[in-house]
Amino acid sequence: MVLLIHQDPLLHTPMYFLLSQLSLMDTVLISTIVPKMAAAYLTGRKSISAVGCGLQIFFFQTTGGAECFLLAAMSYDRYVAVCHPLRYATLMSWPLCLRMALGSWLLGTADGVMQAAVSLSFPFCNRHEIDHFFCEAPTLVRLACSDTSAFEYVMYICCVLMLLIPLSLILTSYSLLLSAVLHMRSTEARKKAFATCSSHLAVVVLYYGAAIFIYMRPKSYRLAKHDKVVSAFYTIFTPMLNPVIYSLRNNEVKGALRKCLSRCAALKSN
């Protein structure tokens, strides 16, 4: 998706720019976890250094946090496209898109640095076995010998804010968008509006559903087995599904992909 959007001039629009950032975040996320997990499974060496663990926490939290805010920016883009189509170029200018993308990355990075630094600062007991398939801050902190309740409380508040603030913006955008769509007289216009938003809405449901289940449940209701299953869903399967959702339901992306494959076939024949 990143290369396709970069190569095709027809996809050089704010919506696809934000989509390319989402695809980049998904690529970083899955590259942080899957190669190490696969290597551990194939070689049987299920160990990770402190530096490696810190890097996994950092990149995981950075991309996870950044994706929360980027999905909110994408929902605003869809709201403007449907509700204010004549003012789209003004309301979704390139400087604003760049600030949205950069802001998402910076907020995610701040969260990643904080969680990685604090998680590794605790003293750990003799038991160093992490009951997970990758280093995640809540799982790592459970192994600490000192009292971590203050950090866990702050981490819980941060996660709630980073999930609920973007989610509230997304819900607001879609509420206004739905109200506008219901007032449209043309059935064709309604279908087009729903088609424009359905891919993004599917990604939001997949991502936020799993993230809220992991980070917003009370500690007493958490089971390591459930956390591993849901974590696998939003760290592996959701990033894999996102490009499929956007390519299968988007005629512009399918057209760009066909053109790209045609060019590749022409180069091969030459």
CATH class of 13-180: mainly alpha
The C-alpha atoms of residue 192 and residue 181 are separated, in whole angstroms, by 10
- Residues 50-56: contacts with CB under 8 Å, at least 24 apart: 50/120, 52/135, 53/120, 53/130, 53/135, 53/140, 54/116, 54/117, 54/119, 54/120, 54/135, 55/116, 56/32, 56/134, 56/135, 56/136
**Ranges in the chain, pLDDT < 50:** none
Q: How far is CA 20 from the centre of its chain?
A: 12
pLDDT digits (tens, 9 = 90+) for 122-143: 888 766 788 788 888 878 888 8
Look up tokens 């204010």; give the residue.
84
What helix, strand, coil percent values describe the chain, rounded to 5? Answer: 85, 0, 15
- Contact (Cβ atoms closer than 8 angstroms) between residue 199 and residue 252: no
| pLDDT for the residue 127 | 65
* Interior angle at CA 88, CA 86 and CA 94, nearest 5: 150
| pLDDT for the residue 249 | 65
For the chain, the average pLDDT equals 83
| pLDDT for the residue 103 | 94
* Interior angle at CA 147, CA 145 and CA 148, nearest 5: 100
CB hemisphere CA count around 1 (13 angstroms): 24
| pLDDT for the residue 226 | 66
Question: Domain coordinates of the chain in residue numbers?
Answer: 13-180
Q: In the chain, where do the E strands start and end?
A: none
| pLDDT for the residue 224 | 60
- Tokens in use for 94? 């390139």
